[in-house]
Structure 1
Amino acid sequence: MKHWHVIYTRPRLESLALHHLKRQGFTAYLPQHRKLRRHARSTDWIVAPLF
Protein backbone atom coordinates (compact mmCIF):
# COMPACT_ATOMS: atom_id res chain seq x y z
CA MET A 1 0.00 0.00 0.00
CA LYS A 2 1.34 3.40 -0.95
CA HIS A 3 1.38 6.28 1.48
CA TRP A 4 0.41 9.75 0.28
CA HIS A 5 2.08 12.96 1.39
CA VAL A 6 1.33 16.54 0.40
CA ILE A 7 4.19 18.97 -0.08
CA TYR A 8 4.17 22.74 0.02
CA THR A 9 6.19 24.45 -2.72
CA ARG A 10 7.17 27.98 -3.55
CA PRO A 11 4.84 29.63 -6.08
CA ARG A 12 5.45 28.64 -9.73
CA LEU A 13 8.15 26.09 -8.79
CA GLU A 14 5.91 23.02 -8.70
CA SER A 15 7.48 21.43 -11.78
CA LEU A 16 10.98 21.88 -10.33
CA ALA A 17 9.88 20.17 -7.10
CA LEU A 18 8.38 17.34 -9.18
CA HIS A 19 11.67 16.93 -11.06
CA HIS A 20 13.70 16.76 -7.82
CA LEU A 21 11.33 14.25 -6.20
CA LYS A 22 11.44 11.94 -9.23
CA ARG A 23 15.23 12.22 -9.41
CA GLN A 24 15.41 11.00 -5.80
CA GLY A 25 13.29 7.95 -6.63
CA PHE A 26 9.90 9.07 -5.32
CA THR A 27 6.69 8.49 -7.23
CA ALA A 28 5.22 11.96 -7.67
CA TYR A 29 2.05 13.32 -9.24
CA LEU A 30 1.42 16.89 -10.35
CA PRO A 31 -2.03 17.38 -11.93
CA GLN A 32 -1.95 20.06 -14.63
CA HIS A 33 -4.36 21.66 -17.07
CA ARG A 34 -4.14 23.85 -20.16
CA LYS A 35 -5.08 27.46 -19.53
CA LEU A 36 -5.60 30.33 -21.96
CA ARG A 37 -3.50 33.36 -21.04
CA ARG A 38 -4.33 36.78 -22.48
CA HIS A 39 -1.86 39.61 -22.22
CA ALA A 40 -1.74 42.85 -24.22
CA ARG A 41 -3.33 41.71 -27.49
CA SER A 42 -1.72 38.28 -27.48
CA THR A 43 -3.16 35.00 -26.34
CA ASP A 44 -1.40 31.73 -25.76
CA TRP A 45 -1.99 28.41 -24.05
CA ILE A 46 0.07 27.52 -21.00
CA VAL A 47 0.21 24.41 -18.85
CA ALA A 48 -0.50 25.29 -15.22
CA PRO A 49 -0.85 23.26 -12.02
CA LEU A 50 -4.42 22.27 -11.27
CA PHE A 51 -4.27 23.29 -7.60
Structure 2
Amino acid sequence: MFIVCSLQQPAGFFKGQTWQARIKFAAIAIADINQQIALQRAACKKASSTY
Protein backbone atom coordinates (compact mmCIF):
# COMPACT_ATOMS: atom_id res chain seq x y z
CA MET A 1 0.00 0.00 0.00
CA PHE A 2 2.77 2.46 0.89
CA ILE A 3 4.65 1.75 -2.33
CA VAL A 4 1.55 2.38 -4.44
CA CYS A 5 0.87 5.68 -2.67
CA SER A 6 4.47 6.85 -2.90
CA LEU A 7 4.67 5.99 -6.59
CA GLN A 8 1.58 8.06 -7.31
CA GLN A 9 3.23 11.20 -5.90
CA PRO A 10 6.97 10.89 -6.43
CA ALA A 11 7.49 14.62 -6.94
CA GLY A 12 6.30 15.48 -3.45
CA PHE A 13 8.52 12.80 -1.94
CA PHE A 14 11.64 14.02 -3.72
CA LYS A 15 10.80 17.66 -3.10
CA GLY A 16 10.59 16.94 0.61
CA GLN A 17 13.94 15.19 0.51
CA THR A 18 15.71 18.13 -1.17
CA TRP A 19 14.12 20.55 1.30
CA GLN A 20 15.47 18.50 4.20
CA ALA A 21 18.91 18.44 2.61
CA ARG A 22 18.89 22.25 2.30
CA ILE A 23 17.89 22.65 5.93
CA LYS A 24 20.70 20.32 7.05
CA PHE A 25 23.21 22.16 4.85
CA ALA A 26 22.14 25.53 6.26
CA ALA A 27 22.38 24.22 9.82
CA ILE A 28 25.89 22.90 9.19
CA ALA A 29 26.96 26.20 7.60
CA ILE A 30 25.60 28.20 10.55
CA ALA A 31 27.32 25.89 13.04
CA ASP A 32 30.59 26.28 11.14
CA ILE A 33 30.34 30.08 11.24
CA ASN A 34 29.54 30.01 14.96
CA GLN A 35 32.57 27.81 15.57
CA GLN A 36 34.83 30.15 13.60
CA ILE A 37 33.58 33.16 15.58
CA ALA A 38 34.14 31.32 18.86
CA LEU A 39 37.69 30.41 17.83
CA GLN A 40 38.45 34.02 16.87
CA ARG A 41 37.13 35.27 20.21
CA ALA A 42 39.18 32.68 22.09
CA ALA A 43 42.29 33.67 20.15
CA CYS A 44 41.69 37.37 20.90
CA LYS A 45 41.21 36.65 24.61
CA LYS A 46 44.36 34.55 24.72
CA ALA A 47 46.36 37.20 22.84
CA SER A 48 45.14 40.02 25.09
CA SER A 49 45.84 38.06 28.28
CA THR A 50 49.45 37.32 27.30
CA TYR A 51 50.39 41.00 26.92
The structure carrying a bigger strand percent of its residues is 1
With CA pairs under 8 Å and 6+ residues apart, which has the higher RCO, 1 or 2?
1
Length-normalised TM-score, structure 1: 0.27
Length-normalised TM-score, structure 2: 0.27
The structure carrying a bigger helix percent of its residues is 2
